[in-house]
Amino acid sequence: MASPDDRDDDRTPPFDVDPDDPDATAPRDSPLEDDDREIGAKIATDQEAFLGVLPHFYRGEVSQANGAQDRIDRTTDWAIALIAALLSLVFSSRRMPAFLLLVGLFVLSIFLFYEVRRYRFYDHWRARVRFVQENVFANALDPVGTEHPEWREELSADLRHPTFKVSFLEGLSRRIRRVYGLLFTVLGVAWVFKVTLFTPEQRWTEAAELPGLPGIWVAVALAVFHGCIFALAFWPTERRAKGEIHGSEPGDWKND
């Protein structure tokens, strides 16, 4: 039985190639490459082919939006779990220091900035999904006209040069209003209770103080921090996020 080396030696190439000839060893262009480059342009002018590609694109964008939403939810879940664990620890004993709640504020701020970044990516994918829903599916169900007459050109431009649809400041404001404002408030109220009701043997200024910083200044810094959070939550920014639900009141759909 021949060895693998013998079998390799017995094989002959389908054609002879001179290794010293650069033209012979260079990759050769396929005659179909020029046509393949413009296959998208052919789909654009073929309605049947375009309608065949569009559902795949839509499902892909929905999948991306769902994945981004899941990442946001995980960040929020971790933030809530952190607060629950911290409150249980701080109030488990009178000897537990109140400054642990200030550490919680710092860590919660880190979670907030991570979530704002993830929210901007989520809004990016969600905006594309809503764009297709508005201009394709809504018009297919009730052909009264598209929301954006040049929707294909606009969507193409965004695919070629993707951009965020919401600014960092607006994303920060929205996440504070929706989730993190309440979490920051819980920690702030817990700190007040900890330095007052749960330390009766000390004055609240003594319970609130940090090494080298009097308790009154800690309270002032905490008040300023929550004031900044409140200001960011209601900062007047141009609404650019592509919300899916308009208004807070329920609609009349399917009430009859």
CA distance 83 to 12: 71
- For 172-204, the pLDDT digits (tens) are 999 999 999 999 999 999 999 988 887 777 788
At a CB cut-off of 8 Å and minimum separation 6, what does 146 contact? Answer: 134, 135, 139
pLDDT at 14: 47
Strand partners, 210: 213
Task: Report which residue type is found at 134.
Answer: E
Alpha helices in the chain (DSSP H): 4-10, 22-25, 33-37, 39-44, 47-90, 99-132, 138-141, 151-160, 168-175, 181-196, 204-208, 215-233
The widest CA-to-CA distance across the chain, in whole angstroms, is: 95
Residue 57 has a pLDDT of 92
**pLDDT tens per residue, range 104-131:** 999 999 999 999 999 999 999 999 999 9
CB 99 within 8 A of CB 159: no
If DSSP codes are grouped into helix, strand and coil, which group holds residue 18? Answer: coil
pLDDT at 27 over 90: no
According to the model, what pLDDT value does residue 126 have? Answer: 93
Q: Are 242 and 127 in contact (CB under 8 A)?
A: yes
| Band (220; pLDDT cuts 50, 70, 90) | very high
Q: How far is CA 55 from the centre of its chain?
A: 23
Label residues 175-203 b or e (16+ Cβ within 10 Å = b): bbeebbbebbebbbebbeebbeebbeeee
The answer to whether 98 and 191 have CB atoms below 8 angstroms apart is yes
Tokens at 154, concatenated: 């606009």
> What pTM was computed for the model?
0.76
What's the half-sphere exposure (Cβ side, CA atoms, 13 Å) at 109?
A: 11
